[in-house]
Chains A and B, each alone.
Chain A
């Protein structure tokens, strides 16, 4: 009988589904697919625009972020720890603590090894591998595969000039000033203590910020970066040649790339120099939701938008339907779940609206988990429409948004 199965398998391998795949109405699929993609893009653009508006309103309004603005401006007038004129000693940029993958790390064109010390001017290139660099007690940086970066400064804050690819860093907060920066062409992403990833493709730069706050702006010759402040969670994109002019920011937690899991690099570890050369355990970052970086040290600058409720409120004003979708997504995203599980929720929020546009009743169809229901009900009932009547809002959530 097993032979029969083998024969059936052999016969089916080239044939089963081949004709059906050939007969697919591709015109129909193309139209539906690219129509949906265009709709996605429109929604993203709308959300990014409104987020950008809110960011500037936040800064101008003198809310929590304004304190950080003052700090940065103040720091710029103080003696500069990052002034290259003052750089006399070649302070170590850190050391390579792990190289993962089949490829290699090149330092100045030569194969680098675990334990290698990095210095000012070193050019790092990863081919088919990612390298983890640690500056004990200060930061851990993963140079992802296919990246090229130069150590541009080591005195005080470490500055990497990113030519291509991506780096992801977990930075211990510093009491003042900048702890780490990534230069992308003439622009700089300066870090005050955070978990972030900076990716560069040509002049297109993407910053995903899961913790803390960064400044984005022209790289200063000396002193701190006087740019736009971006607080976590945030997904920011800009063109390297004009960071501030092209900056768009989304604070929707679901648009933010999940943080990789890093071993803590706090002061306690710094006091144990023997650990500095130990390989950093690296887990697949894609399987982690944005808010679950359990190993990450908490920065002193807290995100004003890290709770689901906050995310929902932030998105409520410009588009009530988008606000409801964002609220449900944030509530699903905030639920605890195993690292290797992708949660997919497809539901529709059925709304009955009063004549004044307020929400009279709401129900999920099909129902969602009670805690998601409870979490989302506040933002949903707080939403205000410009019309009354009935409304259905489809919601499609996938957490984490990555696959493998």
Chain B
């Protein structure tokens, strides 16, 4: 029996130590995925905690028919969706900090590394403007590198639907880039970097 299967079997049998090992092995990747799908830092800890509570509750039902990582992604996606639905129904208080404004071109520092970081942050904000279903498949495919077939298992949708969502997510992101002046300026800086650096 492979190590992972053995570890899962031990956790299912009630060994807290085994569950803790699973948690420690996967918590960083789960945290990153949650952040990418949530699009903000606000409830990150709460959602990570909820993911692993659900893992604990459902681990006994994991039968090894899918890869554990696929199963874990599915649990994570479900918890994030649940959290976002709950968040949408919560009242927004006026003293909550406003969403981070889109960066203006003149705010970008001269340092290339800073520019790149700002681009990544701005891209994260753009992703946050996509509808949940599109953002999730886009994040899983483009950022996590998961194939559409596996994403279909994670989100419980046909592969064709996943591909369609990817297509529209990309198209909407392109439109957002076009329509967003600050990012259009970023686009210019991009071309400059691309020309200088020589993209492979």
Q: Could you list which residues of chain A lie within 8 angstroms of chain B, going by C-beta atoms?
A: 1-5, 7-9, 11-13, 15-18, 20-22, 24-26, 28-29, 32-34, 36-37, 40, 144-146, 201-202, 204, 206, 257-258, 284-286, 340-342, 344, 346, 366, 398, 400-404
Q: Is the CB of B13 within 8 A of A202?
A: yes
Smallest CB separation, B111 vs chain A (Å):
15
Task: State in angstroms the CA–CA spacing of A11 and B115 once bound together.
Answer: 11
Q: Is the CB of B123 within 8 A of A403?
A: no
Task: State in angstroms the CA–CA spacing of A180 and B34 once bound together.
Answer: 46
Q: Is the CB of A20 within 8 A of B32?
A: yes
Chain B residues within an 8 Å CB radius of A34: 16, 20
Chain B residues within an 8 Å CB radius of A341: 156
Q: Is the CB of B49 within 8 A of A404?
A: no
Say which one of B40-48, B95-103, B129-137 lies at the interface with A. Answer: B40-48
Q: Is the CB of A400 within 8 A of B61?
A: yes
Task: Using A15-B117, A204-B13, A257-B61 as known contacts, list a sample of 5 further A-B pairs with CB atoms less than 8 Å apart, ordered by residue number in A.
Answer: A1-B177, A11-B123, A24-B31, A29-B49, A403-B74
Smallest CB separation, B189 vs chain A (Å):
11
Chain B residues within an 8 Å CB radius of A28: 45
Q: With A2-B170, A11-B116 as known contacts, state yes or no: A286 contacts B41, CB within 8 Å.
A: no
Task: State in angstroms the CA–CA spacing of A181 and B147 once bound together.
Answer: 43
Q: Is the CB of A29 within 8 A of B78?
A: no
Task: State in angstroms the CA–CA spacing of A146 and B64 once bound together.
Answer: 10
Smallest CB separation, B88 vs chain A (Å):
12
Q: Is the CB of A36 within 8 A of B49?
A: yes
Task: Tell me the interface secondary structure of chain B in the complex.
Answer: helix
Determine the residue in chain B with the shortest Cβ distance to A284: B65
Chain A residues within an 8 Å CB radius of B27: 24, 26, 29
Q: With A11-B120, A286-B63 as known contacts, state yes or no: A340 contacts B177, CB within 8 Å.
A: no
Q: Is the CB of A403 within 8 A of B58?
A: yes
Smallest CB separation, A13 vs chain B (Å):
5
Please count the residue pairs between chain A and chain B whose beta carbons lie under 8 angstroms apart in the complex: 148
* A interface footprint on B111-143 (CB within 8 Å = 1, 0 otherwise): 000001101100110000000000000000011
Q: Is the CB of A4 within 8 A of B190?
A: yes
Q: With A33-B53, A146-B5 as known contacts, state yes or no: A8 contacts B44, CB within 8 Å.
A: no
B86 within 8 Å of A (CB atoms): yes
Chain B residues within an 8 Å CB radius of A1: 174, 177-178, 187
* A interface footprint on B142-180 (CB within 8 Å = 1, 0 otherwise): 110100000001101000000000000010011001100
A-contacting residues, B7-60, CB 8 Å: 9-10, 12-14, 16, 19-20, 23, 27-29, 31-36, 41, 44-45, 48-49, 52-54, 56-58, 60
Contact of A4 among B28, B154, B187 (CB under 8 A): B187
Q: Is the CB of A398 within 8 A of B36?
A: no
Contact of B35 among A7, A17, A258 (CB under 8 A): A17
Q: Is the CB of B45 within 8 A of A2?
A: no
Chain B residues within an 8 Å CB radius of A366: 89
